[in-house]
Amino acid sequence: MCFVFADDLNDCDSLQTVISHKVKIIINPVGFFSYCDTVKLKNISNNNGRLCLKISPIVTIKSISHNDEPLEFSREREKVFVKDNFSKEENEIIFECAGELGEGTEFSRIARNQAIIRLEEIIPSTIINYKFVRVTLVIPSNWESVGPGEMVYDTVDQNNHISIWQCDKPIPMLGWVCAAEYSRFQHENKGILFTTLLFADDSVFSSQIAKLSGNVIQYFGEKFVPYRFKNFTVVEVDNWVAGNSVLAIASPGFVMVKKFAFTTEDKFNRVESILAHEIAHQWWPLTVFLYDEDLPFLSEGLCEHSARWYNKFSGQESGRDSLGNHPLLRPLLLKILRGEDTPLRQKKDMRYSQTHYLKGAYIHHMLQDIIDERKAEMLYKLYAQKFYEKKTNIYDFITIAESLAGKKLDWFFDQWLNRTNIPRLKIYNVKLKLNGNIWICEGRVRLLGYEKFSTFATVRAEGKNSYKEDTVFIGTDIEGRYNNDTPFRIEMYEKPQRIILDPLNNILKFRKLPPKLSDLREPSSGTMIIGTKNNYDSLRKFAERDSVEMTLAGWVIRIITDTSATLSDLQRSYVFLYGTPVQNQLVESNQGKFPFKFQGDSLIINGEEVSDVSLTFIQVIDNPYLENGLLIWIAPFGFDVPAKLLPYDASWILLKGKEEIAKGIWEIYDEDLVFEVKSGF
């Protein structure tokens, strides 16, 4: 989900607020549009005889009128100044405009087969307080459309398809309109009409997506507050919309899902996996209206948390639902180590901060642990009820959380939302002694470094058949004293074999994690280095195919040869080596750094020699040339069935086309968090 912020409004803009739009848009598939928009404005200050609004420079204003009388106006790029002598507090102004979107913008484009228009880009705007919106769309007769709110009128004649979309309740944004030659599927469930508008080649998913949408909306409606609209639509759009880092976009009453989410082989990014998160946006922030700086936590983070709730309820949990093993966890930790992290509470374009989705969800999970799960469920329901169709911020959320917890929680939100680091914890000075038939395990937990964090932590002593736990607190106590070191004590009948700090990974903290191909889920920039010693053309074709898939997922990829690569090329965050030692000279000189190595034309994997030309072997290690970077080696044994480079949940994988033959994860021992009881201890 992405929210795109308008430029900050100056004092001139703040003299009026838009409370309604009644706009009729005529879309011409050769790239042009025209519209007539009746805008109702409410004065919130003395405007000294002048209105100021914003309209994109791509829009040509034909006329502006009030009560059938033309108004004088002038333009300064996106600003439009209108002379007025209005005596009423509320006034309706009519804008007649036209424009061209054949080339399009990052968010809007009109082509022969589809029109995607972000309404805020083309119609007049200032400070918004929408109470009523009506959008009439006139499109080719063989096209279908979707717009904000509910469809209240729909008719088709020989030349045009006319639909009216209306929202007679407050909304925080206008969102988009989408129109194309879609395959339409509809399914009604408990008074809500579920619609899918998919391209013909993906229409096979229509029934499945409509049913899933119904299940998710029913669940969230019971968990938070009922869904606000009488219809919900999932509409497929082309991959260019809003840039490659975005898979889907929520708008009032519908969700836009990119074609990539229907075609990718990466299950993590499939439409079935992302839909619950996107639907949750109908609540956060399209029912509970949020300030921009709170969107990362109370929208993206809460939608990810909500999706985890739904997936657990439906029995469809996957890797993205396990916070401690989440595919974006290691990328998040690496980003923090590189000093690239930013505070969660700030106005930002979330399209380029995918790890913040996980960080936000993790914080909601930790909050749940502090106030307990039952009260956490009450928290979100109460928050949705109290601020239903109202603007709210994090302080309102904190107030409700504190009332349920019965204690102050400002320290919790301050350390997790306003700071960039995370705690580094260590278990140490562990001692065991047998007292009669009871084993006593004592030790200490310390917060390392200079950052001050406060957190509860569980220490578990595990035996062969049982375990016992103790909970400790590190940080500032209720009297204001700070302690970064605290003891623990556990008693159990069975001798412990290991002592684990935070065994369920309930705390977002630094951990030693093995590099995995799933670390590639966070889009970044990468360098692919292809071999020139042998099979150059095939290796280049292989790399180019992978780069196309990665670019669609938001990556910026450059491809170079082994003969042109320099040390600085290897000192990058993400480096991909293509070829075997006999094909790529950099592979030949660096394969000793990898756990698996070629012996001639074959590999030894799990004690077996592998040389089948239909196979591809991929492995990833920490980049020895750059701290906190990755070095990925893609070695095709042949080129008849080359496997795709995907973010597999593995450190190494042997593939035959799409089939996974064998895979594994490097073993990592984290001595800060795990103490192994050795024999004789």
State whether the Cα torsion 145-150-154-160 is positive or negative: negative
Radius of gyration of the chain (CA): 29
Contact assessment for residue 474 and residue 485, using Cβ atoms and an 8 Å cutoff = yes
Among 398, 417, 436, identify where a domain stops. Answer: 417
Q: How far is 361 from 367, CA to CA, in rounded Å?
A: 10
Residue 260 included in any domain: no
> Which residues, 6+ apart, have CB-to-CB distance to 631 below 8 Å?
570, 575, 577, 590, 593, 620, 621, 622, 623, 624, 625
SS3 content of the chain, % helix, strand, coil (to 5): 25, 35, 40
Residue 674 included in any domain: no
Nearest partner of 575 among 625, 501, 632, judged by Cα? 632
Which SS3 state, helix, strand or coil, does residue 397 take?
Answer: helix
Distances, alpha carbon 174 to alpha carbons 3, 114, 417, 563, in Å: 12, 19, 28, 53
Which SS3 state, helix, strand or coil, does residue 602 take?
Answer: strand
Nearest partner of 619 among 485, 517, 496, 472, judged by Cα? 517
State whether the Cα torsion 243-244-246-247 is positive or negative: positive
Residue 225 included in any domain: no
What parts of the chain have a pLDDT lower than 50? 1-11
Contact assessment for residue 331 and residue 355, using Cβ atoms and an 8 Å cutoff = yes
| pTM confidence score | 0.92
Residue 97 included in any domain: yes
pLDDT at residue number 527: 98
Residue 116 included in any domain: yes
Do both 309 and 350 map to the same domain?
A: yes
Distances, alpha carbon 357 to alpha carbons 2, 203, 270, 300, 453, in Å: 11, 29, 17, 6, 21
pLDDT at residue number 368: 93
Do both 522 and 508 map to the same domain?
A: no
CATH of the domain at 444: 2.60.40
State pLDDT tens for residues 256-276: 999 999 999 888 899 999 999
Q: How far is 653 from 605, CA to CA, in rounded Å?
A: 10
Q: How far apart are the first and last CA of the chain?
A: 53
pLDDT at residue number 319: 67
CATH of the domain at 331: 1.10.390
User: Structure tokens of 214?
Assistant: 């119904």
Q: Using the 8-state DSSP alphabet, how is residue 671 labeled?
A: T
Contact assessment for residue 223 and residue 309, using Cβ atoms and an 8 Å cutoff = yes
Q: How far is 636 from 611, CA to CA, in rounded Å?
A: 10
How do 114-118 and 109-110 pair as beta strands? Answer: antiparallel
Contact assessment for residue 647 and residue 327, using Cβ atoms and an 8 Å cutoff = yes
User: Structure tokens of 244?
Assistant: 């490659």
Ordered strands of the 144-146 beta sheet: 109-110, 114-118, 176-180, 144-146
Do both 30 and 174 map to the same domain?
A: yes
CB atoms within 10 A of CB 388: 17
CB atoms within 10 A of CB 45: 9
Say which amino acid occupies 617: F
Do both 390 and 430 map to the same domain?
A: no
Do both 131 and 52 map to the same domain?
A: yes
User: Structure tokens of 215?
Assistant: 């299940």
- The total of structural domains in the chain comes to 4
CB atoms within 10 A of CB 15: 19
Distances, alpha carbon 439 to alpha carbons 10, 229, 432, 436, in Å: 69, 60, 7, 8
CATH of the domain at 655: 3.30.379
Do both 574 and 654 map to the same domain?
A: yes
Do both 76 and 144 map to the same domain?
A: yes
Contact assessment for residue 375 and residue 404, using Cβ atoms and an 8 Å cutoff = yes
Do both 80 and 94 map to the same domain?
A: yes
State pLDDT tens for residues 455-470: 999 999 999 999 999 9
Among 493, 513, 533, identify where a domain stops. Answer: 513
State pLDDT tens for residues 586-618: 999 999 999 999 988 899 888 889 999 999 999
Residue 241 included in any domain: no
Say which amino acid occupies 310: Y
Distances, alpha carbon 578 to alpha carbons 494, 616, 662, in Å: 51, 11, 20
Q: How far is 653 from 201, CA to CA, in rounded Å?
A: 31
Q: Chain centroid to CA 50: how far?
A: 41
Range of the structural domain that residue 50 is part of: 1-181
Do both 541 and 448 map to the same domain?
A: no
Do both 478 and 531 map to the same domain?
A: no
Residue 201 included in any domain: no
pLDDT at residue number 601: 86
Q: How far is 135 from 171, CA to CA, in rounded Å?
A: 14
Contact assessment for residue 35 and residue 122, using Cβ atoms and an 8 Å cutoff = yes
Do both 370 and 393 map to the same domain?
A: yes
Do both 117 and 39 map to the same domain?
A: yes
Total length of the chain: 681
Among 491, 513, 535, identify where a domain stops. Answer: 513
Residue 59 included in any domain: yes
Contact assessment for residue 485 and residue 446, using Cβ atoms and an 8 Å cutoff = yes
Residue with structure tokens 């999706």? 307
pLDDT at residue number 7: 41
